[in-house]
Structure formats: C-alpha cells, structure tokens
Amino acid sequence: GAGKTTTFRTIMGYLTPVVGTVVLNDTSIVGLPTHKIAQLGIGYAPEESQVFGDLNVAENIELPTWTRPQGRDAKTRIAMAYEIFPKLRDYAKRGGSQLSGGERKMVSIARALTLDAELLLLDEPFEGLSPAIIPSISEGIASIRRRGHGILMAESNIHHIPEYADSLYVLERGEIIFAGTPADAHASPELMNIISGAA
C-alpha cells in the first residue's frame, strides 16, 4: 500500500484526488471520464496485464486504434508494436486466454502503445515475471522511450528500475520520501535499507 497503483488510477480518472490536480499539457484532466483521458494520449498497462481472453493477440493490439482514431494511422501503430515486441508476431493468432504471464505483459504494453499515447503508465511491468522474459520487456520499454514517448513506471523492486530512467521517486505509505536519479538512490545506504525493508 505505498500508493503507486492509486496514483495511476487517479491519473486515469478511476479515482478523484482529494487535494491537488492532474495536469496534461497545461490542462487539468481531473473529473474527465477515463475514455476521454485515454483519447487525450495517456495509455495504461495495469499490473494485472489484463487482456481480452476471447480476442487473439492481434485483435488485442488493434483494439486501441479504434479508441483513439486521431494520431498516426492504425497500420503504423500496429507495426510499431510488433517492432518493439517482435515475439508477439509469432503469437498473433493465439487467444488471449492462452498466453503466459510474460506474453500478457507484452500484449498489455503493446496495446497501450497502439493508443498512440504520448504518456504510458506502466504499473509493475516486471512483477511476477520469469527472469528469462525480463530482458525482452526491459528492451521493449527502452525502445518505446527512444521513440519519444513519456513513461511513468511503478516498480516495487528498485533493482528492476532501468538505468535509463531520468527520475526516481520513492513512495512510502503515500508520501514521497525520495526524489532524484536512480544513481542517487543507490548511493544512499539509508534509502536502500528502507527500500529493502531492513530499516
């Protein structure tokens, strides 16, 4: 209960902030319905990596192109998703209910990407994954970043934070107890003790 998922759900309009505001491109989005926030360019890949079990991988990835018709054309968005996660080409016809946890995670992130989102919210993208699949997910996220998309990632394991992260915020019981770079965090024994549960 640090508040990471609550933060994401507040950004997406599932929850309303008690104080403060959420601003996108200098405009408050508080009070907007979730689908409107998505149409403004915020893609959300939740921790549970929920995919539509009755749809195959290709259909899951294509779905957001209908949700946000503005922006790049659907074909370009879908091609980019497969470039970032090439393994998904092999699973294109596989049903969503037949995917492993790592495969669902890739589909969830690819689906948020095909919204043509300016900002991607990735909630625990490495949680519960096999160590063998983590490099593919990490490289995919790095590729998304290189293409100019903003990424806000929540991760409970600091060792999963990629080295290319620009800023790191540590939440404890809903409060920010650290703000800086990943290198700054690793250089603080006191913070690392708190994060590891030793303090």
Mean pLDDT by 10 residues, the chain (199 residues): 84 92 92 92 90 94 83 90 95 94 94 91 91 91 92 86 86 85 87 69
CA 72 to chain centre: 20
Q: How far apart are CA 47 and CA 189, in angstroms?
A: 29
Cβ neighbours of residue 158 closer than 8 Å, sequence gap 6 or more: 168, 182, 185, 186, 192, 195
What is the bridge-based pairing of β-strands 168-172 and 175-180?
antiparallel
User: What pTM was estimated for this model as a whole?
Assistant: 0.88
Residue type for 142, please?
A: A
Q: Which of 164, 132, 137 minimizes the C-alpha distance to 45?
A: 137
Handedness of CA 57, 45, 118, 22 (dihedral sign): positive
Q: What is the pLDDT of residue 156?
A: 83
Q: What is the pLDDT of residue 44?
A: 94
